[in-house]
Amino acid sequence: MSLASRRILLGVTGGIAAYKAAELARRLIEAGAEVQVVMTKGARKFIAPLTFQALTHKPVRSTLWDARAEMAMGHIELARWPDAIVVAPATANFIEQLARGSASDLLTTLALATDKPVFVAPAMNRLMWANAATQANVARAKKRGVRILGPADGDQACGEIGSGRLLEPTQIRDTLAAHFGDGPLAGVNVAVTAGPTREPIDPVRVLTNRSSGKMGYAVAAALCAAGAKVTLISGPTALPAPAGVLRVNVETADEMLKASLVAAKKARIFIGTAAVADYRAAQNARQKIKKNSDTLALRLTKTTDILCAVRAKHPKLLMVGFAAETEKLAQHAREKLVKKKLDLVAANLVGKGKAFDRDDNQLHLFWNGGTRKLRKAPKTDLARELVRVIAQRLTPA
């Protein structure tokens, strides 16, 4: 992802994730950006300014009371300098000040004094993030045009698990690159399906599967980072929508089909990562089915195949399907490629310890006349590799 010639002001606040800001600075510079770091007083307790100075080759700014800089109203000049401001990590306290419009230190003053886009990547304990006060402050900041990046789910420094982790530096970098429209899919409309579907049996029970949606959400984020305009049609998941993505929430296969046909009308690329139910109950009981016998016969009927339906309506779309298999991976993937008239199939083996409910995966790509294996890696990395292949298929060299 290119950030060539872009000026990025990187704000660092006082949280344990401040150490990741050094990696973010390095990634931004690798992408071609010029980086100026501004640290709060709390941030200096977690990581030394010298680290950032060595990476950026610029002195770190941290106070409004720098006599030399302020002789020429340096904070105003600094607010005008960047193409974007990104604060990572952003503490609950910083977000609260930002929402109030406070200017209590250099970083909050810069956020008020700029007319450039401000991106904020929260990092805090899961309960602090979920607290109603924090969510109200986030909502106020969003209303004022601040872009919120994340947070991610996972292990936290406090030993707890949940939402509140700082997004990975590469994700933040890619989101910035997408904002500037420098990616290989800049301006391309893409529709992505993700997650499971739920087919009701009665008002309480559903037919569903083990898909977490992580792969589909990673693909949506990678597409956005490549500059695409992404519509994510999602079955029920516990995942936050990737930054910059339009999410359409659905539950059943029929709802996903209808949303897919609408999104495909303006798309150039359609990617079906969702684990869509192949069958639904032939009759949805109006009342809860009681446990009155030792056995229960449930009659099922086929759902409409979404990829086939979209292809029939839009023969010129570049279409990518996913194939989750327990055996004969290559055979089934190639059959799917032909039967559903797809341009590319991303296949993977599923089962105990594979793919579902995991952060890593392994993909084998198939297209007419070609194949490529992607090594086992985090789903976010695989998504970026897949998007690169898709971009090449859309505009072959």
* Cis status of the peptide bond prior to 89, with omega within 30 of 0: yes
* Helix (H/G/I), strand (E/B), else coil: 201: coil
Backbone phi, psi, residue 98, to 5°? -65, -40
What CA–CA distances, in Å, run from 192 to 261, 322, 324? 11, 11, 16
- Measured CA to CA in angstroms, residue 152 lies from 156, 317, 322 at distances of 10, 32, 24
Please identify which of the residues 158, 262, 300, 394 carries the catalytic annotation.
Answer: 158
Q: Is 158 a catalytic residue?
A: yes
Distances (CA, A) of 41 to 26, 32, 129, 251: 22, 28, 22, 47
Helices 214-225/379-394 angle, 10° precision: 50
CB atoms inside a 10 Å sphere around CB 339: 12
Residue type, 381: D
Q: Which residues are catalytic?
A: 158
